[in-house]
Amino acid sequence: MDERSLAASLAGLPIPSIHYFESIGSTNDYARTLAERAAPDGTLVIADEQTQGRGRLNRHWETRSGSALAFSLVIRPAPEEMANLGLFSALCGLAVCSTLRSRYGLDAQIKWPNDVLIHRKKTCGILVEAAWLGSQLQGIIAGIGINIAPSSVPSPGDLLFPATCVESELGRPVDRENLLAEILQVLTSQRTSLGSPEFIANWESWLAFKGEWVRVEQPERTLEGKLAGIARDGSLRLQIKDDEIIEIAVGDVRLRKAV
């Protein structure tokens, strides 16, 4: 993987510039710097190795050299997208899930709010952050990390949730640049429907644990109920009684299948 081969693989996609690193601390941090410098929509930051990556709630996410896809996009929301800023994480999840299912035949699902699973094991983590200057939005930073090779999967002692990688589930090697191009192509096409009923329906159709009993852990409480689906704003709909459904917003939340 290098900047020249990436440019060839991504030709024809709305990626105005590519910032490739053999090793970097965090692609999201670098992309935020670019957003603050008025980088255009679609600017891509990608690294072969990431040493200080992080997931949601500031959890550490390490990317070993040659083993994974670790990239971030600078997104400049259009005026009509401003009402749906909270759905860009779902957009990334839909793009990854759709690609793994349609192009590779893998049983991928989206674990609310920001993971992609294959056979109910974590394969992809997503971290979407907003860059603000006072009340002015400078851009959305969409970070995606995908386990590709077996060496990308952390040891069991370091896991909060069972994990796997694309190559182990597929049973053959995967070209990371081709996979990246396919994901970005799907993300671009699905972005046009952000926040629409079709968008929410697609999300729900690949929602892990839908209709099953789950446990939702929050700092102030733990809830158990049946996962009913996704609300219009991206909140989780949890049925806690036969006639009562509550909505849980994305935040300091952990979702697990109830034992």
Domains annotated on the chain, with CATH: 3-205 (3.30.930.10), 213-257 (2.30.30.100)
pLDDT band with cut points at 50, 70 and 90 for residue 213: very high
At residue 258, the pLDDT reads 75
pTM, 2 dp = 0.92
At residue 158, the pLDDT reads 59
pLDDT band with cut points at 50, 70 and 90 for residue 59: low
Rounded mean pLDDT, 212-228: 89
Least confident interval from 121-130, 186-195, 249-258: 249-258
How many angstroms separate the first and last alpha carbons of the chain?
Answer: 42
Does 1 have pLDDT greater than 90? no
Backbone angles phi, psi at 215, to 5 degrees: -115, 130
At residue 241, the pLDDT reads 81
Does 190 have pLDDT greater than 60? yes
Tell me how far apart the alpha carbons of residues 181 and 162 are, in angstroms, rounded to a whole number.
27
At residue 255, the pLDDT reads 78
- DSSP state letters, the chain: --HHHHHHHTTTSS---EEEEEEES-HHHHHHHHHHTTPPTTEEEEEEEEEEEE-GGG-EEEE-TTTEEEEEEEE---GGGGGGGGGHHHHHHHHHHHHHHHTT---EEEETTTEEEETTEEEEEEEEEEEEETTEEEEEEEEEEEE-SGGGSPPGGG-SS-B--HHHHHTS---HHHHHHHHHHHHHHHHTTTTSHHHHHHHHHTBTTTTSEEEEE-SS-EEEEEEEEE-TTSPEEEEEETTEEEEE-SSS-EEEE--
Express each pLDDT in 115-126 by its tens digit: 999 999 999 999
Residues 6+ apart with CB under 8 A from 61: 50, 53, 54, 55, 125, 127, 145
At residue 61, the pLDDT reads 61
* Mean pLDDT, the chain, whole residue set: 91
List the structure tokens of 259. Answer: 């034992």
Does 259 have pLDDT greater than 70? no
At residue 155, the pLDDT reads 73
At residue 252, the pLDDT reads 59
Tell me how far apart the alpha carbons of residues 214 and 105 are, in angstroms, rounded to a whole number.
27
Hunting for tokens 């299912």 — which residue is that? 101
Express each pLDDT in 128-166 by its tens digit: 999 988 888 999 999 999 999 999 998 766 567 889 999
Q: How far is CA 89 from its chain centroid?
A: 6
pLDDT band with cut points at 50, 70 and 90 for residue 41: very high
List the structure tokens of 26. Answer: 């965090």
Residues 6+ apart with CB under 8 A from 50: 23, 24, 25, 26, 27, 61, 62, 63, 70, 145
Per cent of the chain over pLDDT 90 is 76
Name which residue leads in pLDDT, 2 or 155: 2
